[in-house]
Amino acid sequence: MRREPPIQTIDCSSRRSGFTLLEGLIASVVLAVLALGVVGSVSTSYQQSQSVRASSTAVTLGRQLVDEIVSKPYTPTDTLGAGGTRSTFTGVSAYNAYTDNSNAMPLLEGGTLDVTGEDNYVRQAAVVVGAKPSIDTASPATDFAIVTVDVTCQDGQIVSIPELVANYAMPRQ
Amino acid sequence: MFAIQSPKTSRARRGFLLAELLIGLVIIAMVMFGAAAILDAVALGWNDQDVTRSTQVQANQTYIRVQNALQGAKYVGYASASSSQSGSIFFWQNDNLGGVEAGDPYIGEMALIQYDPATTTLWLYTVPSSQLSNAAVQAAWTLTEINSSANASWFAAQSFVEKQALGGPGNLTNDGTRLQVSSFQVYVSSLGSDTQLPLIEYSIGFARSDGTKLTLYNSTTIRGPATQPE
C-alpha cells in the first residue's frame, strides 16, 4: 500500500523575509554608537599626548626661569617684587610676582620672542621668605626662601617648580 | 506532491519597495560618509601627532646637546650679536689639557657652537682627545684672544678641530624628515659680575620640510672660575 508523503508547510513569512527598515535603522544607530566610542578613545589618547607635550614644554620653560633666578644672589633685605623689567633684575627677591607669557617672552637682552607658536604658556614666579630647613638651628629664618615658578599651559594644567635659595656668597668655584 | 503554501508567502517573498531601498541606501551613504569623515580626521590627527612628536624629540635632542656643551663651560669668549639669527658662541669648555688645571684657556680647551645656514645645522667645534698632543693646541690664549671673532673663525677652520652636528641634518643627506635648524640666537648676561653667575640665554629655531616650525628657548648658568682668564 502506498503511503502519501506528509504535507509540508512552508512558512515563508518567517524564513525568507529580509530586514525591515526599522531593523536597518537600529543597526545603523548601533554602528554609529560603536564608531563614536572608538573615535572617542582615539580622541582621548590624542588629548593625553598633547597634554604630555604641553607639560614637557612647561617644565623646560619653568626650569629656565628657576635656573635664571637662582643664578642671582639672595639677600633677605631686598624688596620683594620691586618691579621693573626682567633684564634689570639683580637679585632673587626682584622676581617675586614676576609674570610673562611665552608668546611674547621678554629676553634678557631686551625685546621679546614668541617661543611656543600657537600655544601660550604663562609663567609666574613667587619668592616666599623664611623657608629655613629644620636641620639648621643657627641661621635666621630669613636667610632662606622658596622660589616657586608656576607655568600654566594652554589646557589649564599648571606645572610648579620649587627651589630653595639661601643667603650665602655665590660660589664661583 | 505539492507543498501547500501559506497565504502569507506572497507578501513575505516580495523584496524592498523602491522607496525603502532608496531610503536604506541614503542612510547607508550617510553613515559611510560620516565614518569616512571621522576616519579621515583620525588619520590626520595621528599624522599630526606623529610629526609633532618627532619634531619635539629631535628638538629636545638638540637642546640637550647644546645644554650639555654649555653648562660645563668655564668662561665665555666671543658671542655673536644677540640680534643675529646665525649666532655663534666661543667658549672655554674645560680646564684639563694634559690632565692639568692650569687656569688659562688653552686652544685645546676651547669649543665653538656655530649655526650654519647653508647646511641648516648647528655645529659644535671641539678639539678631539686624539689631537691634544698636537703642539698647536697647547698654546694658551688670553681673555682678549678668546673674545676675538677672528680667533673663533680661525679655530673652526683648523684641521685639528672636529665638528659635530648638535642639530640639523649635519653631514647626512637631508631626506626631508630631519629637523633643520633655522636660527640660533645667543646672548650672554652678567659675565664678569661679582655677584651674579654668568647666564647664557639662547633660542634655537627649527623647521621641517612640511612647514612644521618650533622654537626652543632656554638659558644656562656658567659656574666658572673665581677669576676670569687674563
Strand A158-166's sheet: what is its strand order?
A99-101, A122-129, A144-152, A158-166
Nearest chain B residue (CA) to A37: B38
Q: Is residue A6 part of a domain?
A: no
Long-range contacts of A109-115 (CB under 8 A, 24+ apart): A109/B82, A109/B187, A109/B189, A109/B201, A113/B185, A113/B203, A113/B215, A113/B217, A114/B215, A115/A61, A115/B203, A115/B215, A115/B216, A115/B217
Whether A173 and B225 lie within 8 Å, measured CB to CB: yes
Strands of chain B (E only): list them.
4-5, 75-79, 88-92, 110-116, 121-126, 162-167, 180-189, 199-207, 213-221
Q: Is residue A173 part of a domain?
A: no
Q: Is residue A56 part of a domain?
A: yes
Flag whether residue B171 sits within 8 Å of chain A, measured between CB atoms.
no
Residues B74-131: tens digit of each pLDDT? 889 999 887 777 899 999 998 888 888 888 899 999 999 999 999 899 999 999 989 9
Angle formed by the axes of helices B18-71 and A21-70, nearest 10°: 10
Using alpha carbons, select from B122, B201, B111, B120 the residue that is nearest to residue B166. Answer: B122
Total domains present in chain A: 1
Nearest-by-Cβ selection for B27 from A25, A70, A172: A25
**Check: complex ipTM more than 0.95:** no
Whether B199 and A108 lie within 8 Å, measured CB to CB: yes
pTM of the model: 0.77
Flag whether residue A124 sits within 8 Å of chain B, measured between CB atoms.
no
Give percent of chain A above pLDDT 70.
87
Residues A104-152: tens digit of each pLDDT? 999 888 888 888 888 899 999 999 998 888 887 888 888 899 999 999 9
Measured in whole angstroms, the distance separating CA B25 from the mean position of its chain's CA atoms is 52
> Which residue's entry shows cell 627651589?
A163
Whether B217 and A31 lie within 8 Å, measured CB to CB: no
Q: Is residue A11 part of a domain?
A: no
Residues B160-193: tens digit of each pLDDT? 999 999 998 888 776 666 789 999 999 998 887 7
Nearest-by-Cβ selection for A105 from B1, B24, B217: B217
Residues B138-151: tens digit of each pLDDT? 999 998 999 999 99
Q: Is residue A134 part of a domain?
A: yes
Whether B217 and A87 lie within 8 Å, measured CB to CB: no
Whether B203 and A115 lie within 8 Å, measured CB to CB: yes
β-strand B75-79 against A122-129: which pairing, if any?
A: unpaired
Flag whether residue B98 sits within 8 Å of chain A, measured between CB atoms.
no
Q: Is residue A14 part of a domain?
A: no
Residues A33-65: tens digit of each pLDDT? 887 887 788 778 878 888 888 898 899 999 999
By residue range, what is the domain housing residue A127?
A: 20-166
Flag whether residue A59 sits within 8 Å of chain B, measured between CB atoms.
no
Q: Which residues numbered 59-78 in B keep a CB inside 8 Å of some CB on A?
A: 60, 63
Q: Is residue A9 part of a domain?
A: no
3-state secondary structure chain A: CCCCCCCCEECHHHHCCCCCHHHHHHHHHHHHHHHHHHHHHHHHHHHHHHHHHHHHHHHHHHHHHHHHHHCCCCCCCCCCCCCCCHHHCCCHHHHCCCEEEHHHEECCCCCEECCCCCCCCEEEEEEEECCCCCCCCCCCHHHEEEEEEEEECCCCCEEEEEEEEECCCCCCC
